[in-house]
Structure 1
Amino acid sequence: MTDPRYNYGQANPQYPQVQDQPPAPKVNIGKLWAGGIGTAVVAALLVVVAIMLVRGVLGIAILSPEGAGAYGTVSTTSYALAAAGAALLATALLMVLLLAMPSPLTFFTWICLLVTAVAVILPFTLVADMDAKIATAVINLLVGLCITTMLSSVGSAAQNDPRQAGY
């Protein structure tokens, strides 16, 4: 619609028509998954270091009999791979929350902290020496906090801030 008094409209090049631009993606998926893979590596290495500390320095036999050495057995490798898998699952959860939820990082943090609480309580439901239960619970706590804090930071960095037009 044009205003004949001021010659506004499509014919006047001084006032170009506003073109609809597709919205920028809300999440940088590549950055998110790169951070998730990095978190998985850190979580797995954290398990290995913690088990070597508990078994080798503190002398607490977790996941293997006492004579298995500081690393233990293949169960240490399985535990480290499970930690890496948990980090990748948490990354998938974070991606879904970032794409679909309001305040996604708040929901993500709460979900991860509650899953971490379950992982900390779980060793106390098993049959083992109390020192092994405590050591396993502490390792689970450290891994859970590592995954939660690192992926919260990654999620924040992976969000694209759409700029307002004209700025």
Structure 2
Amino acid sequence: MADYDGGARYGAARRPGVNAARLWASGLATAVVAALLAVVGILIARGVVEVAVLAPKGEGVWGNANTFTYAMLSALAALLATGMMHLLILAVAAPRQFFTWIMVLMTLIAVVLPLTLTVEIGGKIATAVINLAIGLAITIVLNTVAASARTVRAGRPNDAPTRQWDQPPDNY
């Protein structure tokens, strides 16, 4: 017999689960968003602010093959983050909290890293801002999606029903 929340009766252990199709479809959509954010960031930096990001100024607003590579790496980062979220949902007690901390720290690394390079200061700042936008977008979108992709499954009962002293055994 099932109780009101769909679990097995008599104290079934509740295990975390994930709707993998929903999570990974959302992760793929997040990858597209991250790639497009990279392209938009480069277009703004190179076309509006006129800062050479990832390519010399002579390459034009679209830059060169590095623009495509940067966009694909941004998409890959979103897919890796989706995999991490999937594992966290299955393994830890507060997956969204751990995911947020991990992603904020990784985004911070991605923001600080370009500032240590020996290139023009405008390029450093533009790359740091683009990395910040991509990191925050991935973090926020996947954290929101994880709430709807997380499920709870009933596991094996963790304790058997108790018998009263005056009840006969089941085999009679």
TM-score normalised by the chain length of structure 2:
0.80
**Alpha-carbon distance between aligned partners in 1 of 2:101 and 2:59, rounded to the nearest angstrom:** 37
TM-score normalised by the chain length of structure 1:
0.82
Structure 1: tracts of 5 or more residues without a match? 1-17
AA aligned to 2:82 is T
**Alpha-carbon distance between aligned partners in 2 of 1:131 and 1:137, rounded to the nearest angstrom:** 10
2:62 to 64, 71, 78: 71
The answer for the alignment partner of 1:34 in structure 2 is 25
Does 2:144 correspond to 1:153?
yes
**Alpha-carbon distance between aligned partners in 2 of 1:111 and 1:37, rounded to the nearest angstrom:** 20
Identity of aligned residues (%): 48
- Which is richer in strand? 2
What's the offset of the Cα at 1:154? 1.0
Over residues 74-118 of structure 1, what are the superposed CA-to-partner deviations in whole Å (9 max), with x where a residue is unaligned?
A: 000000000000000000000000011000000000000000000
Q: Which has the higher contact order (CA 8 A, sep 6+)?
A: 2
2:99 to 73, 98, 108: 108
AA aligned to 1:113 is V
Does 2:30 correspond to 1:47?
no
Matched position secondary structure for 1:160: strand
Over residues 25-73 of structure 1, what are the superposed CA-to-partner deviations in whole Å (9 max), with x where a residue is unaligned?
A: 7210000000000000000001001101110111001100101111100
Q: Is the 8 A contact 2:14 2:152 kept in 1?
A: no
Q: Is the 8 A contact 2:16 2:152 kept in 1?
A: no
Cα RMSD over matched residues? 2.1
Structure 2: tracts of 5 or more residues without a match? 1-8, 155-172
What's the offset of the Cα at 1:157? 1.1
The answer for the alignment partner of 2:132 in structure 1 is 141
State the aligned residue count: 146
What's the offset of the Cα at 1:22? 10
**Alpha-carbon distance between aligned partners in 1 of 2:139 and 2:83, rounded to the nearest angstrom:** 13
AA aligned to 1:47 is A
Over residues 139-161 of structure 1, what are the superposed CA-to-partner deviations in whole Å (9 max), with x where a residue is unaligned?
A: 00000000000000111110125
Q: Is the 8 A contact 2:42 2:67 kept in 1?
A: yes
Does 2:85 correspond to 1:94?
yes
